[in-house]
Amino acid sequence: MDVVTEDISGFFDLNISSSTQSDTTLQNVLDRAAMLGYNTVAVNVTADLDKLETVTSKKKKMRKAAPSAEEAAALTDGFPDPGAITFTAPVCPRTGRRMRVLKRVTLEFTGQGDLSRIGRSTNLKKFDLLAVQPTTQAAFNVACQTLSVDIICVDPASFRGFMLNRKLAGLAARRGVVIELVYAPALSAGSVRRQLLLTALTLTNITIGKNMIVSSGATHEHQLRGPHDVPYVAELMGLSPAAAKASVSTLAKSTVIHAVGRNRTGFCMAQLLPDSGESRSGSAGVTPAKKRKTAAC
The candidate with the shortest Cα–Cα distance to 33, out of 275, 229, 246, 237, is: 229
Query: Taking the model in full, what pTM does it have?
Result: 0.80
Is the Cβ–Cβ distance between 115 and 79 less than 8 Å? no
CA atoms within 13 A on the CB side of 71: 10
In a domain, 82, yes or no: yes
Contacts of 255 by beta carbon, 8 Å cutoff, 6+ apart: 12, 14, 129, 150, 151, 176, 178, 213
Q: What is the pLDDT of residue 256?
A: 95
In a domain, 290, yes or no: no
In a domain, 5, yes or no: no
In a domain, 273, yes or no: no
In a domain, 280, yes or no: no
Range of the domain at 57: 12-252
In a domain, 261, yes or no: no
Structural domains of the chain, count: 1
- Where residue 55 falls among pLDDT bands split at 50, 70, 90? very low
Q: What is the pLDDT of residue 208?
A: 85
Residue 40 backbone dihedrals phi, psi, to 5 degrees: -140, 130
In a domain, 175, yes or no: yes
Domain holding 225: CATH number? 3.20.20.140
Reported as a single tens digit per residue, the pLDDT across 164-202 is 788 888 999 999 999 999 999 888 777 888 888 888 988
In a domain, 149, yes or no: yes
Task: Report in angstroms the alpha-carbon separations of 23 from 27, 219, 253.
Answer: 6, 11, 26
Reported as a single tens digit per residue, the pLDDT across 57-106 is 554 455 445 544 444 444 457 788 888 888 999 999 888 899 999 999 99
